[in-house]
Structure 1
Amino acid sequence: MARKIADCRKYPSEINCSLTISGEEEEVLRAATEHAVTVHRHEDTPELREQIRELLVDETPAGEPDGMNFVQLIEFKTGKRDQLDELLDEWEEATGGKRTAKRALLTQDHEHPGSYYELVEFPSYEEAMRNSRLPETDALSRKMRDLCDEAPTFHNLDVVRAERL
């Protein structure tokens, strides 16, 4: 079973908490709940525990570059790049603390202006699917389709080799 991480740095707080907790899921859930109650003054409820559980991410296994084991490649064409950038910025703001995507790289085909490829990295396929189920991601997908000249194409890719060069 993958180890999990709870990281307060990902969530704004009045005290700018920097605590990170890692371990087996139930251990992290228990410790993070205790921390949320004693330090952040939340009430220990089943809802708090479920929120914390949903925010846990897989720990990066040692020896794996960046811990990115899964990539979504999205191919699309649009002449509305500025609107797309605004839409992506809105999504990033709306999903802060919830999204499981770790890095995104938007590229344009040099020989075919208006043709784009976005690579979105995730720790795992499961984390990518969790990200896809966010209501904000669903809204992004619908709005993005409206900006595209044709329906985007999605590719789900397992990383088999990654190196820093």
Structure 2
Amino acid sequence: MARKIADCRKYPSEINCSLTIIGEEEEVLRAATEHAVSVHQHQDTPELRAQIRDLLVDETAAADGMSFVQLIEFKTGKRAELDRLLDEWEEATGGKRTATRAVLAQDHEQPGSYYEFVEFPSYEEAMRNSQLPEIDAVSRKMRAICDEEPTFHNLDVVRAEAL
């Protein structure tokens, strides 16, 4: 039987909860219910448990759930400011963002040239993410420290493997 995942990051909350629970379905249901009651102030009802059960996903489905990547190319000589902005982005969008992973890389042969890979479950989730006011605010600040306008590439993942 596949393990299940409950991930608070998929559901906006006032406290920007980032808890993820993984295990056998009944274990996750029990822990997620306890978490919803103690942290999010929900009432432990049969309806809540049914709702949580409906939101659980298979662990393999979650791992394979990346179907869209946004590649952002940009140049900046302000690495310290870039790091501060990325930290600000994480803080401001916690519990709201739909991005599931971000990787920042610097071109080895061209210092100051960066590529950020941002993974999403789908194109629709990426577009929903881009509508967050926090994204707009950080994006404006990031453009201000770039040497030129960033280039965005919207990529559908057609194959992904853990090697």
TM-score of the pair, normalised by structure 2: 0.68
Give 1:7 shift. 3.3
Which residue type is aligned with residue 120 of structure 1? V
Q: Look up the match of 2:69.
A: 71
Distance 1:18 1:63 in 2: 15
Letter in 1 for 2:17: Y
Say whether the 8 Å CA contact 2:71–2:155 is kept in structure 1: yes
Alignment correspondent of 1:111:
109
TM-score when scaled to structure 1? Answer: 0.67
Letter in 1 for 2:76: T
Q: After superposition, what is the alpha-carbon deviation per residue over 1:14-66, rounded to whole angstroms, capped at 9, x for unaligned?
A: xx89699x9xxxxxxxxx9xx96x6667589xxxxxxxxxxxx8956856754
Query: What residue identity is the alignment partner of 1:11?
Result: C
- What SS class does the counterpart of residue 162 from structure 2 fall into? coil
Q: Which residue of 2 aligns with 1:52?
A: none
For 1:74 and 1:58, the matched residues in 2 are separated by 31
- Structure 2 unaligned runs (5+)? 10-15, 26-31, 44-54
Q: Structure 1 vs Structure 2: percent identity of aligned residues? A: 69
The 8 Å contact of residues 22 and 59 in structure 2, kept in 1 or not, is answered as: no
Instruction: For 1:126, give the aligned amino acid.
Output: E
The equivalent of 1:50 in structure 2 is: none
Asked whether 1:7 is paired with 2:45, we answer: no
Moved over 3 A (4+): 5-10, 16-20, 38-44, 57-66
1:85 partner SS: helix
What SS does the aligned partner of 1:105 have? strand
C-alpha offsets along residues 70-90 of structure 1, whole Å, 9 cap, x if unaligned? 000000000001101101101
Distance 1:162 1:39, change over 3 A: same
